[in-house]
C-alpha cells in the first residue's frame, strides 16, 4: 500500500492527458509531510468543506475517517456536489457492502477524468486517515478547484492569480503562495473588502495582530458569506507553514462565493444595458407619439378654419380675414413645418436604433403613422390653397359689389332727383282754364317731357340691371337696394301712365291750340337732348372706375380723350341753342311782346344749360387727374409685379438647382461619412443663409397682396409654389443629413469599415440606374450577387462592380445560386412592407446584421436566470437587490406573474418579459 503523502507528490491528471490539477512545488513540502499540524488543519478544513455541501441534504459528518467508512455519506456528498445520481447504494452492514459502496464512489470520481493513485476502497473502509484525506482532497480538486482558470492557467495558478489581482491594491498584502502569505490574516480580509467593502473596516486592521485579523475574516465569512469556518486562527499562527491544501480549500470557497456574485453582476449589467436601451427607445416613442398627436391636433383644429367659406358682408371684414391668413402663413405654420420635419427625423432615428439593438420596429398608434401625418398635412395644404383662392375671390366680389352699390346709389339719386315733382306736374289740371295758345304750349311742353322721359328709360333699365347683379352677387344690403329699385320702377310705371293720361287730355283740346311759338318749341327740342347729354357727361365724368392693370386704365384714358375731342362740337350746339333763346327774346322785344314767363315747352333755361356746361368744364380736368392718379397706381403695381418676378425667377431655379444638387450629393457621397456629414451640414448652412432672399420675396408678395394685385404676367412662379419648394428643400437636406447620421450609427454599432461602406454605396449606386435612391427587387438581387453574397465558386468571388453582361454571365455560371426562396427571405427582411423597393439604409443594415455582436433574447434570459439563482422565475425582491432602483421598478411594472408548476407567491415571468423586448421571432 502506497502512503497517501507519497501519492500526493505525483502529478494528478485528468483522463485523456488533460490539464494538471495540482503539482507539488518544492522540497520543503516533502520535509513536512508528516507534520501533525498539517493533518489537524486538513481534518478541520476538509470536514467543514464536506459539511457545507452535506447540509444541503440535511446531514453532516463529525469524524472524517469514520463517517465515510460505509460509503453512504461519501456517495451522498458526490451527488450533492456533482448534481448527478450515483448507482443505488447497498444498505447492508457487512464489510463487503461498505467496500462496494466506496468503490461506487471511487468509480464515479474516476469517471470524471481523475486518476486515483493508490487509493483503494479497503483503506477507506478501514478508516485510514491519510488515504481518506487524500481522497477528499482529490474530490475538492476535481469539483471545487479544477474549473478555476484565469488567463489559461492551471487550477492552482489560476486561483493564485485571482487572489493576487483582487488583493493587489491593499497595503501589507502580498499573496505569493497558499501558506505563509495568509498567516497574518490580511489577505483574507482584503478579499472580503474587495467584494463587500461594507463588511470590513480594512484600515483598522494591524499586521502585528494576525489572530484578530484571521478571526475577523472567518467570522465575517461565516456570518455574511455563508462560508463555514474551516480553519482556526491559533493553528495557522502557531504553525511554521500552514497547510497549503487547507488554505486552498478555504480560499476556493471565497472564489466560488464571489465569482457567483460576479456572474450575477455581469448578468445584472447586461440586463441594465438592455433595459437602458429599451427605456431610451420607449422615451423616444413617447416623444414621437406626443409630437405626432400635437401636430395632428393642430392640423385638426386648423383645417376647419381653412375650410370655413362663410363670407363676410364688408370689405373690411374680409381684409381682416386675409390678414389673419397671412399671420398664419408667416407666424403659425413655419414652426409646424419644422415640427413635421423633426418628427420624420426622430422616427427614422428611432427605427435605426431599434434595428441596431435587435428590437422590433416601432409601430406608432393608429392614426399617428408618418404616412397619416403626411396625409393630414397634404389635406391641410389643400385646404390652405383653396382658402386663399376663396379669400381673394371674395375680396374681388366685395370690391365689385361696393362699386356696383355706389353706382346704383348715384344713378338712383340722379333719377329720383329728376322724378321729383313729376307726378304732381302730370296730375295738374292747368289745361282746363288755359287758352288755346296755352294749351298748345302745354301740349308741346308735354311732348318735350315725353322726350325727356324716353331719354331717362335707359337710366331706369341700368338701375334695374345693377340691382339684379347685386342680387346675383349676394350683396349684403340687397333688401334696401331691391326696395329702392322697386320704388323707382313703380314710380316709373306711374309716370308712364300719368304721361299717357295727360297726353290724351291735351290732345282732346289740341284743336283749340293754334298759336305755338316755333322758336320755343325748337329750343325745347334741342335743349332737352343737349341737357340730357350734359347730365350723362357729368354722370360719366363722376362715374367710379376700377381697373387691375395698365392696359385697362389706358383704355379709360383713351375713351376720356375721345370724349374731350367732342367738346368743341358740343359747345357749338350749346351756342346754337342759346342763339334760339336769344332769337325768341329778340323777336319778343322787336314786336313788343311781353312774355308771360319762361319757355312754356321746357323747364330747361339758358342759365341751366350754361351752369351745367360750366360744371362739365370743371369735371373734365378732375377726371383727367383721377385717371392720371390711377395710371400712376397701376404703374406702381406693375413695378411691384416686375420686382416680385425678378426675385421669383431667380429663386425658383435656385431652389430647383439645390434640389438636384442634393440628389446628386446623396448618390455620390465622396469621402468618409463624417466628411459627408460635415459637407452636408455646410451645404445646409448655405441654404439657411439664403433664407433672407425668401423673406424679401415674402415682403414683396405682401406688398402685391396689399395692393390687391391678382395676376403677374412677368413670372410663372407663385409665392405658394416657391414656399412649397423652399419647405421641400429644407426637408430634403434635413432627411439626407439624417440618413448619413443613421449610417454612422449603423457603422459604429455594426463595426463596418469605411471601405465596406464605400463598396456598399458604390454597388448600390451602380445598380440604381434611375438615381431614385432605392433599388427595385431585381436591381437589389444583382447588387447582392455583385458583392459576392452566397457565392461559393472561385469564379464567384467578389470582384467589384459588374455591368449587365457580367451579371448575366455570373447568373449563368452560378446557376443563380441566390435562389428564389433565399431571396424571398432576404426581401422580407429589407422590405417588410412589400413595397418592392430597398433603401440604402435597409441595404447596409442587411449586409452587416449577421456579423454584429448584439444582445439577444437568449442572452437576456440567461442573465435573468443567473440573477434568479437558476429558477424559472424571479422575485421583486431579487430584482431590487440586483438592479438599480429605476430599472428594477421598470421590470417589476412590466413582468407578468409566473404561472409555472414551481410558482411561488410574487413570482415574476422573466421569459415573457424578454419575449416582449425582442419579439417572438428572436427566441
Q: Which residue has the cell 447588387?
A: 783
Q: Which residue has the cell 355706389?
A: 406
Given CA atoms 69, 70, 71, 72 in this order, what sign does their dihedral have?
Answer: negative
Cell of residue 854, nine digits: 448584439
**DSSP percent split of the chain into helix, strand, coil, nearest 5:** 70, 0, 25
How far, in Å, CA of 540 to CA of 410, rounded? 11
pLDDT value of position 808: 42
How far, in Å, CA of 294 to CA of 289, rounded? 8
How far, in Å, CA of 530 to CA of 566, rounded? 13
pLDDT value of position 149: 62
pLDDT value of position 33: 42
pLDDT value of position 152: 57
pLDDT value of position 660: 87
Given CA atoms 801, 804, 805, 810 in this order, what sign does their dihedral have?
Answer: positive
How far, in Å, CA of 623 to CA of 561, rounded? 11
Report, in angstroms and rounded to the nearest whole number, the Rg of the chain calculated over CA atoms: 56
Tell me how crowded residue 224 is: count the other CB atoms within 10 A of its CB.
14
Instruction: Report yes or no: 735 and 345 within 8 Å, Cβ to Cβ.
Output: yes
Residue 13 pairs in a beta bridge with: 20
How far does the chain reach from its first CA to its final CA, in angstroms?
58
The two beta strands, 774-776 and 907-909, are unpaired
pLDDT value of position 32: 37
pLDDT value of position 312: 74
Cell of residue 262, nine digits: 460576479
DSSP assignment of 1-14: ---HHHHHTSPPB-
Residue 472, burial from CB neighbour count under 10 angstroms (0-12, 13-18, 19+): exposed
Instruction: Report yes or no: 861 and 869 within 8 Å, Cβ to Cβ.
Output: no
CA 888 to chain centre: 30
pLDDT value of position 12: 32
Dihedral over alpha carbons 75, 77, 82, 84 (to 10 degrees): 40
Kindly list the averaged pLDDT for each block of 10 residues, start to end, along the chain of length 923: 33 33 34 60 89 88 89 89 88 87 89 80 88 89 74 77 90 92 94 90 92 93 89 87 89 84 73 83 89 90 84 77 83 88 88 84 87 90 83 78 81 85 83 65 83 84 85 80 87 86 72 53 85 89 82 87 90 88 71 62 86 91 89 88 90 91 75 84 90 90 83 87 90 88 79 72 77 80 71 36 43 49 80 81 71 68 86 88 86 90 87 76 35
pLDDT value of position 511: 54
What's the number of CA atoms in the CB half-sphere (13 Å) around residue 455?
20
How far, in Å, CA of 376 to CA of 688, rounded? 27
Instruction: Report yes or no: 580 and 519 within 8 Å, Cβ to Cβ.
Output: yes
Looking at beta carbons, which pairs linking 87-95 to residues 24 or more positions away fall under 8 Å?
Answer: 95/125
Residue 147 pairs in a beta bridge with: none
How far, in Å, CA of 2 to CA of 578, rounded? 168
How far, in Å, CA of 56 to CA of 80, rounded? 8
pLDDT value of position 432: 63
Residue 480, burial from CB neighbour count under 10 angstroms (0-12, 13-18, 19+): exposed
How far, in Å, CA of 108 to CA of 114, rounded? 9
Amino acid at each position: 500500500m502506497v502512503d497517501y503523502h507519497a501519492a500526493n507528490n505525483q502529478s494528478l491528471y485528468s483522463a485523456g492527458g488533460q490539464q494538471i490539477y495540482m503539482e507539488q512545488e518544492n522540497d520543503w513540502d516533502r520535509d513536512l509531510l508528516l507534520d501533525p499540524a498539517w493533518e489537524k488543519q486538513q481534518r478541520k478544513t476538509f470536514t467543514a468543506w464536506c459539511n457545507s455541501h452535506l447540509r444541503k441534504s440535511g446531514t453532516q459528518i463529525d469524524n472524517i475517517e469514520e463517517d465515510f467508512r460505509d460509503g453512504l455519506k461519501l456517495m451522498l456528498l458526490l451527488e450533492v456536489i456533482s448534481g448527478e445520481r450515483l448507482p443505488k447504494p447497498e444498505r447492508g452492514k457487512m464489510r463487503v457492502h461498505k467496500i462496494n459502496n466506496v468503490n461506487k464512489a471511487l468509480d464515479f470520481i474516476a469517471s470524471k477524468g481523475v486518476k486515483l493513485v493508490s487509493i483503494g476502497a479497503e483503506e477507506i473502509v478501514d478508516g485510514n486517515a491519510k488515504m481518506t484525506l487524500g481522497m477528499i482532497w482529490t474530490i475538492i480538486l476535481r469539483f471545487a478547484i479544477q474549473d478555476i482558470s484565469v488567463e489559461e492557467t492551471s487550477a492552482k495558478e489560476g486561483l493564485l492569480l485571482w487572489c493576487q489581482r483582487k488583493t493587489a491594491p491593499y497595503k501589507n498584502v502580498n499573496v505569493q503562495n497558499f501558506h505563509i502569505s495568509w498567516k497574518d490574516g490580511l489577505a483574507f480580509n482584503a478579499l472580503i473588502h474587495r467584494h463587500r467593502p461594507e463588511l470590513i473596516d480594512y484600515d483598522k486592521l494591524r499586521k502585528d495582530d494576525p489572530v484578530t485579523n484571521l478571526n475577523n475574516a472567518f467570522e465575517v465569512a461565516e456570518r455574511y458569506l455563508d462560508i463555514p469556518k474551516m480553519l482556526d486562527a491559533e493553528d495557522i499562527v502557531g504553525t511554521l507553514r500552514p497547510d497549503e491544501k487547507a488554505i486552498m480549500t478555504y480560499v476556493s470557497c471565497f472564489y466560488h462565493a464571489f465569482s457567483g456574485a460576479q456572474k450575477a453582476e455581469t448578468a445584472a449589467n447586461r440586463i441594465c444595458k438592455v433595459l437602458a436601451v429599451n427605456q431610451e427607445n420607449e422615451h423616444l416613442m413617447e416623444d414621437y407619439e406626443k409630437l405626432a398627436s400635437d401636430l395632428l391636433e393642430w392640423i385638426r383644429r386648423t383645417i376647419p378654419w381653412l375650410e370655413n367659406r362663410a363670407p363676410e358682408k364688408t370689405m373690411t371684414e374680409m381684409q381682416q380675414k386675409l390678414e389673419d391668413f397671412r399671420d398664419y402663413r408667416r407666424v403659425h405654420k413655419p414652426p409646424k413645418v419644422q415640427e413635421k420635419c423633426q418628427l420624420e427625423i426622430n422616427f427614422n432615428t428611432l427605427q435605426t436604433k431599434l434595428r441596431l439593438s435587435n428590437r422590433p420596429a416601432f409601430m406608432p398608434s393608429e392614426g399617428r403613422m408618418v404616412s397619416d401625418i403626411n396625409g393630414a398635412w397634404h389635406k391641410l395644404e389643400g385646404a390652405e390653397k383653396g382658402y386663399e383662392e376663396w379669400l381673394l375671390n371674395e375680396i374681388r366680389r366685395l370690391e365689385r359689389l361696393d362699386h356696383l352699390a355706389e353706382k346704383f346709389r348715384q344713378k338712383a339719386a340722379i333719377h329720383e332727383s329728376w322724378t321729383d315733382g313729376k307726378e304732381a306736374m302730370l296730375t295738374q289740371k292747368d289745361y282746363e282754364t288755359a287758352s288755346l295758345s296755352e294749351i298748345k304750349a302745354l301740349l308741346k311742353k308735354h311732348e318735350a317731357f315725353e322726350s325727356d322721359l324716353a331719354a331717362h328709360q335707359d337710366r331706369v333699365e341700368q338701375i334695374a340691371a345693377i340691382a339684379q347683379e347685386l342680387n346675383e352677387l349676394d350683396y349684403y344690403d340687397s333688401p334696401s337696394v331691391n326696395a329702392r329699385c322697386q320704388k323707382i320702377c313703380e314710380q316709373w310705371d306711374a309716370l308712364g301712365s300719368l304721361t299717357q293720361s295727360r297726353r290724351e287730355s291735351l290732345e282732346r283740346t289740341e284743336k283749340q291750340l293754334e298759336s305755338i311759338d316755333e322758336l320755343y318749341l325748337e329750343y325745347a327740342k334741342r335743349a332737352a337732348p343737349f341737357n340730357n347729354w350734359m347730365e350723362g357727361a357729368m354722370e360719366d365724368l363722376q362715374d367710379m372706375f376700377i381697373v387691375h392693370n395698365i392696359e385697362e386704365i389706358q383704355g379709360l384714358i383713351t375713351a376720356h380723350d375721345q370724349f374731350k375731342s367732342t367738346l368743341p362740337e358740343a359747345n357749338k350746339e350749346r351756342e346754337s341753342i342759346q342763339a334760339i333763346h336769344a332769337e325768341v327774346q329778340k323777336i319778343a322785344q322787336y314786336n313788343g311782346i311781353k312774355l308771360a314767363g319762361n319757355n312754356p315747352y321746357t323747364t330747361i333755361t339758358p342759365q341751366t344749360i350754361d351752369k351745367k356746361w360750366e360744371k362739365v368744364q370743371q369735371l373734365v380736368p378732375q377726371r383727367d387727374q383721377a385717371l392720371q392718379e390711377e395710371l400712376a397706381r397701376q404703374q406702381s403695381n406693375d413695378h411691384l409685379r416686375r420686382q416680385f418676378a425678378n426675385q421669383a425667377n431667380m429663386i425658383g431655379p435656385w431652389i430647383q438647382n439645390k434640389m438636384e444638387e442634393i440628389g446628386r450629393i446623396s448618390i455620390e457621397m465622396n469621402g468618409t461619412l463624417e466628411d459627408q456629414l460635415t459637407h452636408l451640414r455646410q451645404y445646409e448652412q448655405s441654404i439657411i443663409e439664403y433664407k433672407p432672399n425668401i423673406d424679401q420675396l415674402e415682403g414683396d408678395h405682401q406688398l402685391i397682396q396689399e395692393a390687391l394685385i391678382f395676376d403677374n404676367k412677368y413670372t410663372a412662379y407663385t409665392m405658394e409654389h416657391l414656399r412649397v419648394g423652399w419647405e421641400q428643400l429644407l426637408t430634403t437636406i434635413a432627411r439626407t443629413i439624417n440618413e448619413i447620421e443613421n449610417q454612422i450609427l449603423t457603422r459604429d454599432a455594426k463595426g463596418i469599415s469605411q471601405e465596406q461602406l464605400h463598396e456598399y454605396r458604390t454597388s448600390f449606386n451602380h445598380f440604381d440606374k434611375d438615381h431614385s435612391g432605392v433599388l427595385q427587387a431585381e436591381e437589389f438581387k444583382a447588387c447582392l450577387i455583385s458583392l459576392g453574397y452566397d457565392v461559393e465558386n472561385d469564379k464567384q468571388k467578389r470582384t467589384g462592380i459588374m455591368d449587365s453582361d457580367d451579371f448575366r454571365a455570373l447568373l449563368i455560371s452560378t446557376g443563380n445560386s441566390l435562389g428564389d426562396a433565399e431571396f424571398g427571405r432576404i426581401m422580407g427582411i429589407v422590405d417588410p412592407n412589400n413595397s418592392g423597393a430597398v433603401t440604402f439604409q435597409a441595404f447596409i443594415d442587411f449586409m452587416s446584421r449577421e456579423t454584429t455582436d448584439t444582445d439577444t433574447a437568449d442572452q437576456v434570459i440567461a442573465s435573468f436566470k443567473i440573477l434568479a439563482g437558476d429558477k424559472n422565475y424571479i422575485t421583486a425582491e431579487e430584482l431590487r437587490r440586483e438592479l438599480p432602483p429605476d430599472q428594477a421598478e421598470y421590470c417589476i411594472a412590466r413582468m407578468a406573474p409566473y404561472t409555472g408548476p414551481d410558482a411561488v407567491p410574487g413570482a415574476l415571468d422573466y421569459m415573457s418579459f424578454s419575449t416582449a423586448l425582442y419579439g417572438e421571432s428572436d427566441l
